Structure 1
């Protein structure tokens, strides 16, 4: 089948549906790996291919979606065997029908030894060796490795047809926080890519909403939604969307500009049969002829903190740890004292050191509402999945909290891991990108995003690279770890020269010899110089606090030329010590 000629005639190309859904429905196959059946139960895979072809599809995918995992784990022989068998079975099924066969590649897994591009290229070469020239890379959360794959394919096989498909939710964002439309436009601009689109995660209605009004020039648009949204019956995950409804929505997707359509999770040969009948009367329409969704009005957040920063004035932010119980009075009293001392913002940690405390975002809303103080809540990636993160950000925005510090978060202590499981859907860069995508497509009032900068890292070159990546993801300011050594000061100078964002320099008042040793040995990201530690030896509590004021004042003055303000961390709720330091700095 000549796909380009078929599409040039204005006829949509109909793919098959889900292989995994049909395989899992076979007796005794629930829970088995679908791709392994290429070798273990080839007759069953062949039968599923034929069922889709009998239903009317014009292209089938090889049953190889997860083979990249085998390559990443070093199981090269197994990967080769699955690809060879998968290609043979798909071609054997498709040949009598004159249907096209597409090599199916799922997203490249995380691997320390191999990057996404290498994993894609290795799979591509194995498929090319089997004589396949059509490729579908699907369910992608990002475009990492795709430009390299596209160039490699066209250099090895100039006639190759490449479809690149991303997986976005109903909000148009991937699980890595990438905006789907940006990914489509960027990959559609590659001359080696023939079609781009979406598959999986979304049902047909939400996918239609995401693709309406999208114009990609001469690049074909692909749409392969799920049958709907899953529900659990017994121990099985099922999709209850009907084939007739699915076919109606797919016809609307074609009218919206999709030239290549098919089904993903939950779709069956019955879905494809309904689509065959429906699409017989459809032709491809030029993308972009339907109106898109109106872009919401964007209001700039009202932030005295950023008003000062943008005008070149220095600011002071002070961190208070949340309460460990439900007694909020001491915390609020501390905020009142800081407000009266002229502090511009109060930052609130999010379960520091992986230990549960009062929620930083709820406290931020309370501080703003009851005390009129601008809060800067920390949000970690540790304890929330994507849905919970979005819900929390929406709630903060509704409450008028539009500054956030996004950090990856400390891991759960090892003794708690049997009962408390860490959830890391993101790292801080991906969370910043996701928040930026909400700024652009969901929120009426955008967030101003801060990131963390570790000046005490052993390899500060890596920290600088990560900080620049954070800026690319939407971070506009940094709060640094404390400057308590000459090395940290030198790294701050480098950061000032390399970064575009505002920098609030970290100041931590060390209060005792014991405190200094603890910080140096048990707190990640802090280094106290031996000279400072020695100063505290033998000092009383009062003498220790006096020394903390002296050292913190000196540090604040040393870092002033390289920062846009101060970020003071309150030790042991000693708010009075912070106010002493502020008075000393002002003098």
Structure 2
């Protein structure tokens, strides 16, 4: 029906975001750009006052705006849900919107004939000439300069081979040993410390709080992992704002391991996002009138050992489209992983920053365990056999040799390396960093 009037309306939370993390201004822009819509607006979820604040965030719009808030917020009394917003208040707030340029007005949940009648009377009392569209309030106050990147990003963007190293946070409340280990890795030449978010869904000290402490005390750049498993949208946003305020400029967005089956009766999964939606939400927090003065750089995970790597690669492309800037890969411990890394570089191009995963194998038992019980890791049979009968010192030496060769094979296709610390062996990782630098593989 070419003559049909098409109005598209979105339900967003009071802070302007949908439950999937899309901001209302972005949604309005996309509808305006599509060319198939006659009007766009907001409905439901918020009461009139909150809805007016949302409209002000939209700024000037090309299409007519429609606003249909709820009549207040719901109150549950036994089996009944009631909205207690008074018709007079509803009418007054919507009349203010009309005076500011909104052209289509109505109500959603809880709206009664009394609300509409009061609105009609309030609109009739307005002057005939009204502005065309609302304008966003712009502050003229001078704000202090905020560092938008850090030494790690500057080095990465300059084309130098960076070293990120993962060190799992403590299982208890004592951070003394952890900070000492981080300090040693920093002195050895690590550019960035990455901190897993409760790996395999077992509780450890919070990765973001640890990251803030490390950054504050050592000045070391940090990359806290953020899973979709344990936080809803509100908790995620609150944590991101705190990270930014503490000077953290990168996060790793991953879906996260599910809670073990036996514990699900007591500990619940959340999964309001997947990693792609989480990345999109994180970058949407920055911009004019938004919560952050500049976007966080979002990295994702890339499994070079996926059985169907073409699917993994398509997912990586989707992650880039949703705001991620690069990837940390699973360990390169096979020839096929190198082939897949090369294919990744050829497919994604130079825009995607890739840190090739390097995890030293330290014993045959360790290699067999990783091959059979750690998701996303594949260790070539030849490597497993080479560790047979070696003691700890011999195992570590062979592990360093294998790791350096893996880094050499990965270097042409990677922007740096993501080193994973086995069994908290800081001294081993100091030696690995030194060898990578001595070989000229890392800067």
TM exceeding 0.5: yes
Are the equivalent residues in 1 in contact too, given 2:280–2:322 (CA < 8 A)?
Answer: yes
Give the match for residue 487 of structure 1: 336
1:69-148 alignment runs, 5 A limit: none
Task: Tell me how many residue pairs correspond in the alignment.
Answer: 430
- Per the alignment, residue 416 of structure 1 pairs with 263
Greater relative contact order (CA < 8 Å, ≥ 6 in sequence): 2
Q: Aligned-pair distance for 1:322? A: 1.0
**CA apart distance, 1:428:** 0.9
Indicate conservation of the 8 Å contact 2:163/2:419, yes or no: yes
Q: For residues 235-278 of structure 1, what are the alpha-carbon distances to aligned partners after superposition, in whole Å with 9 as ceiling and x for unaligned? A: 65544432211111111222233222222233333322321222
Q: Does the 8 Å CA contact 1:397/1:445 hold for their aligned counterparts?
A: no
Of residues 251, 254, 260 in structure 1, which corresponds to 2:95? 251
| Deviation of the 1:504 alpha carbon | 0.8
Of 191, 209, 225, which residue of structure 1 is paired with 2:69? Answer: 225
Quote the residue 2:355 is aligned against.
504
User: Aligned partners of 1:417 and 1:175: how far apart in 2?
Assistant: 24
Match of 1:331 in 2: 178
Q: CA deviation at 1:458?
A: 1.5
- Match status 1:547 vs 2:398: yes
Q: TM-score scaled by structure 2?
A: 0.91
* 3-state SS, counterpart of residue 172 of structure 1: coil
CA–CA distance in structure 2, aligned partners of residues 414 and 547 of structure 1: 37
169 and 548 in structure 1: CA distance in 2 versus 1, 3 angstrom threshold = same
CA–CA distance in structure 2, aligned partners of residues 232 and 325 of structure 1:
41
Q: Which residue pairs with 1:452 in the alignment? A: 301
Match of 1:583 in 2: 434
Q: Which of 232, 242, 248 is matched with 1:401 structurally? A: 248
Change (3 A) 1:295 1:529: farther
Structure 1 pair 214/322, CA: closer, same or farther in 2 (3 Å)? same
Corresponding residue of 2:441: none
Counterpart CA distance in 1 for 2:193 and 2:343 is 27
Cα shift readout 1:292-311 (whole Å, capped 9, x = no counterpart)? 44599684424110111111
Tell me the residue number matched to 1:31: none
Give 1:208 deviation, angstroms: 1.6
Within 1, Cα distance between the matches of 2:140 and 2:418? Answer: 36
Deviates more, 1:546-555 or 1:458-467: 458-467
CA gap of 1:238–1:546, structure 2 versus 1, over 3 A, is farther
Aligned equivalents of 1:377 and 1:290: distance in 2?
38
Shifted more, 277-286 versus 490-499: the winner is: 277-286
Partner of 1:164: helix, strand, or coil? strand
- What is the CA-CA distance between 1:444 and the residue it aligns to? 2.3
Is the 8 Å Cα contact of residues 194 and 222 (structure 2) preserved in structure 1?
yes
In 2, distance between residues paired with 1:274 and 1:168?
25
Larger-Rg structure: 1
Q: Spell out, residue by residue over 1:113-170, the C-alpha distance to the aligned partner (whole angstroms, 9 max, x if none).
A: xxxxxxxxxxxxxxxxxxxxxxxxxxxxxxxxxxxxxxxxxxxx33333221112223
Query: CA 1:543/1:469 → structure 2, altered by over 3 Å: closer, same or farther?
Result: same
Whether 2:13 is the aligned partner of 1:169: answer yes
Unaligned 5+ segments in structure 1 are 1-156
Taking structure 1 as the reference length, the TM-score comes to 0.70
Residue 281 (structure 1) aligns with: 125
State the match for 1:153 in structure 2. none
- Residue 234 of structure 1, CA deviation: 5.5
Confirm or deny: 8 A CA contact 1:204 1:246 kept in the other structure.
yes
1:229 Cα shift? 3.6
User: Relative to structure 1, is the Cα distance of residues 253 and 502 closer, same or farther in structure 2, using a 3 angstrom cutoff?
Assistant: same
Q: Which residue of the partner structure matches residue 184 of structure 1?
A: 28
Query: For the aligned residues, what is the CA RMSD?
Result: 2.1
